[in-house]
Amino acid sequence: MEGAGYRVVFEKGGVYLHTSAKKYQDPDSLIAGVIRVMEKDNDVLLHWAPVEEAGDSTQILFSKKDSSGGDSCTSEEEPTFDPGYEPDWAVISTVRAQPRHSEPTRGAESSSPRASWAFSVSLGELKSIRRSKPGLSWAYLVLVTQAGGSLPALHFHRGGTRALLRVLSRYLLLASSPQDSRLYLVFPHDSSALSNSFYHLQLFDQDSSNVVSRFLQDPYSTTFSSFSRVTNFFRGALQPHPEGASPDLPLPPDDEPEPGFEVISCVELGPRPAVERTPPVTEEEWARHMGPEGRLQQVSELKSRIFSGGLSPGLRREAWKFLLGYLSWEGSAEEHKAHMRRKTDEYFRMKLQWKSVSPEQERRNSLLHGYRSLIERDVSRTDRTNKFYEGPENPGLGLLNDILLTYCMYHFDLGYVQGMSDLLSPILYVIQNEVDAFWCFCGFMELVQGNFEESQETMKRQLGQLLLLLRVLDPPLCDFLDSQDSGSLCFCFRWLLIWFKREFPFLDVLRLWEVLWTGLPGPNLHLLVACAILDMERDALMLSGFGSNEILKHINELTMKLSVEDVLTRAEALYRQLTACPELPHNVQEVLGLAPPAEPHSPSPPASPLPLSPTRAPLAPPLPADTDTAPQPDSSLEILPEEEEDRADS
């Protein structure tokens, strides 16, 4: 839309000012208006003006997507909800900019008491933009000027914050503050001004002018260690030039990028390749890889076959010991026998520790008593519909109990946390030996023990990585989830915590886990499995108009309805699609294992022990495994009878 001397490049209605500091706004304190970005002469202005009636759509003219690639705001319409508030920024600031009367007014934006709230500011005068916390009923923005004053908070009752930020990013560089990921620092595109901004912020140790040159050539490498997050709605402005670009600039040696670093960008992915899975590895094929002295040969090829096809049921009992690190891929048959004898002795020494505690002692040991009570409760309801664990006097339940209590002796700091019984149950079902199942379980816990730490930092990091992958794979789905207060992907928490144990039928879980244990094609295939499930349910979520509660309900109702082969096929296709992209952001490459991380993501263990509880405990390094101490007798050893192979197929 164009007028005399100006051109409106963005326009969005349903943008309100909340003029009262009360938590519950009176209708008279809500002023409906229109926010516009306008090109006027050689300047770009952000202009807000009230309308007399918020529902009078005839008074609000919306610009369509122009030929220059501007984003339409109408695609991000959200339903109107009751207002949500945040104490620090939810209400209007008491400092208001002087309105500029030279901007156009028309229709309902006429002279009225509310017209005094209108304001207009040049984009060059902006210093920062603050976004609301996620999870509120609607989003709002607070604009801070170079003079230090705040413009009135803009409440987007019908969505549109992302569309506005995308348009602003055509004229400005937006980057998250290192101290506050919701505070976007505003920089002009002019290199000299950008250099000056970097100098005053002291974000870089090197000469600022050199940093700006590298920033404009390769924003990903340069900003990784200096901003905790770069919200890259403006990827076109930062796109490295084909000539002279340096895609692999190393990080400065002294910089320490924050683990939560995220680049939200519009990466152009190629077509998704077709993937076909292969038949499972059979016992005959496994035997062909067995060389002299019982050593496995061509291990990489064997792992690749397991990844692409899984294992036949009769082979799992042996192969899982290798996949879970209980037996070495390079060891001989005699070395494996000696190793298993040592591990048997070690297991029963640890088991004797808790079995020798008298009832009187346990009454004075609240930690052990808490673990025992929690384990007994969880074991009594773990996979009870499975024939292997059904019945009141099932010996398998006793072994689950004993193994989990012994694990508390093996890993004192972590102990037992709810969910561990879900991880042990399939292992015991396959291995059918108390000692071997324990050590295989320990190997599995080495992979996922961070999921059960008290701080939940590992789970938060994985959810962040999942969101990063999903944003690259399917930005519209992410925007939809954001609009429904589900952008944190908390509904995927259980998936990642216990590796989809309760999402697939029991026998499908066996196939899924053995594929994940290969470590192929990268370290986080389980995140791509989650992406595959969301990709399969994309249309059901987006076309149904689900809210946050309905999204959670729909995800929970997927339990036992998913096909593991379909999900694995799609997950591998997503991996190939991502790795084929030549412009894949570096942090996405880290998640996929294509690039080494700048620093370990896992938090360091505390210097001194923290108070432990039976439900949550901090992460600690694993205790030494091998020892040569003499074995201790234990009469409670139970070896389960081997089952028919056809049971695993049933």
Residues 6 or more apart whose Cβ sits within 8 Å of residue 569: 275, 276, 277
Beta strands in 56-166 (DSSP E): 119-122, 126-131, 139-145, 154-156
pLDDT of residue 112: 62
| Predicted model pTM | 0.57
- Gyration radius of the chain over CA positions: 29
Find the mean pLDDT for residues 606-610: 34
Residue 420 confidence (pLDDT) above 90: yes
Sign of CA dihedral 333, 339, 344, 347: negative
What's the confidence (pLDDT) of residue 416?
A: 97
Pull the structure tokens for residue 409.
């002796």
Counting beta carbons within 10 angstroms of the beta carbon of residue 364, is it exposed (0 to 12), middle (13 to 18) or buried (19 or more)?
A: exposed
* Residue 440, CA distances (Å) to 220, 324, 362, 376 in order: 40, 6, 28, 21
Q: Are 491 and 546 in contact (CB under 8 A)?
A: no
Would you place residue 41 in the very low, low, confident or very high pLDDT band (cuts 50, 70, 90)? confident
Rounded to the nearest 10°, the torsion over CA 400, 406, 411, 416 is 40
What phi and psi values does residue 530 have, to the nearest 5 degrees?
A: -65, -40
pLDDT of residue 22: 54
Q: Is the pLDDT of residue 323 over 90?
A: yes
Look up residue 497 and give its two tokens: 């915590």
Q: 190: pLDDT confidence band, cut at 50, 70 and 90?
A: low
Mean pLDDT to the nearest integer, 396-420: 96
Per-residue confidence (pLDDT) for residue 335, from 0 to 100: 97
3-state helix, strand, coil split of the chain in percent (to 5) is: 40, 10, 45
Is the pLDDT at 66 greater than 50, yes or no? no
The residues pairing with 47 across neighbouring beta strands, listed in sequence order, are 36, 120
Beta carbons of 311 and 645 less than 8 angstroms apart: no
Pairwise CA distance, residues 484 & 137, whole Å: 9
The amino acid at residue 500 is F
**Token couple for 586:** 């570096």
pLDDT for 61 beyond 70: no
499: left (phi over 0), alpha (psi -120 to 50) or beta: left
More confident residue, 60 or 513: 513
Q: Alpha-carbon distance 90 to 30, whole Å?
A: 13
Rounded to an integer, what is the distance from CA 323 to the centroid of its chain?
Answer: 26
**Residue 135's pLDDT band (boundaries 50, 70, 90)?**
low
Q: What are 23's strand-pairing partners? A: none
C-beta separation of 45 from 123 below 8 A: yes
Tens digit of each residue's pLDDT (9 = 90 or more) over 193-203: 444 444 444 44
String of DSSP letters for 417-462: -TTHHHHHHHHHHHH--HHHHHHHHHHHHHHHGGGGBTT-HHHHHH
pLDDT tens readout for residues 544-553:
888 889 999 9
Cα 230–Cα 262–Cα 445 angle in degrees, nearest 5: 160
Confidence of residue 373 (pLDDT cuts 50, 70, 90): very high
How far apart are alpha carbons 641 and 639 in whole angstroms?
6
- Per-residue pLDDT of 227-247, as tens digits, reads 333 333 333 333 343 333 333
Region 110-128 average pLDDT: 80
Helix (H) or strand (E) segment spanning residue 11:
strand 6-18
- Confirm if 301 and 265 have CB atoms less than 8 A apart: no
Instruction: Give the span between the Cα atoms of 173 and 185, in whole angstroms.
Output: 8
Q: 205, 223, 35, 213: which is closest to 117 by C-alpha?
A: 35
For residues 119 and 152, the answer to whether their CB atoms sit within 8 Å is: yes
- Name the H helices within 239-331: 283-288, 299-309, 313-323
Q: Which residue has the higher pLDDT, 18 or 464?
A: 464
- pLDDT band for 26, please (50, 70, 90 cuts): low
For residue 48, pLDDT beyond 50: yes
User: Taking residues 406-428, what's their average pLDDT?
Assistant: 97
Model confidence pLDDT, tens digit, residues 564-595: 999 999 999 999 999 999 999 999 999 999 99
Helix (H) or strand (E) holding 237: helix 235-238
Residue 350's pLDDT is 97
Confidence at residue 147, expressed as pLDDT on a 0 to 100 scale: 80
- 3-state secondary structure at position 455: coil
pLDDT of residue 375: 97
pLDDT recorded at residue 237 = 34
Tokens 């690749």 found at: 304
Give me the amino acid identity at 601: H
Is the confidence at residue 311, as pLDDT, over 90? yes
How many percent of the chain have pLDDT more than 70?
Answer: 68
Report the C-alpha gap between 63 and 69 in whole angstroms. 12
With bands split at pLDDT 50, 70 and 90, how would you rate the model's confidence at 162?
A: confident
Spatial CA neighbour of 72 closest among 479, 523, 644, 410: 479
The answer to whether the CB of 406 falls within 8 A of the CB of 351 is yes
pLDDT at 604 over 80: no
**Residue 304 pLDDT more than 90?**
yes
| Residue 97 pLDDT greater than 90, yes or no | no
Which range has the top average pLDDT, 10-24, 104-118, 465-479? 465-479
Specify the pLDDT at position 438: 98
pLDDT confidence band for 184 (50 / 70 / 90): confident
Which of 144-148, 375-379, 424-428, 605-609 is predicted with the least confidence, judged by mean pLDDT? 605-609
Confidence tier at 52 by pLDDT (50, 70, 90): low
pLDDT at 95 > cutoff 50: no
The larger pLDDT score, comparing residue 215 to residue 19, is at 19
For the ranges 61-70, 405-414, 560-569, the lowest mean pLDDT is seen at: 61-70
pLDDT at 362 over 50: yes
Q: Note whether 449 and 619 are within 8 A (CB).
A: yes
**What is the pLDDT at residue 395?**
93
pLDDT band with cut points at 50, 70 and 90 for residue 646? very low
Mean pLDDT of all residues in the chain? Answer: 76
As a whole number, mean pLDDT of residues 271-275 equals 96
How far is Cα 234 from Cα 125, in angstroms, rounded to an integer?
19
Please state, for a pLDDT cut of 90, what percent of the chain lies above it: 51
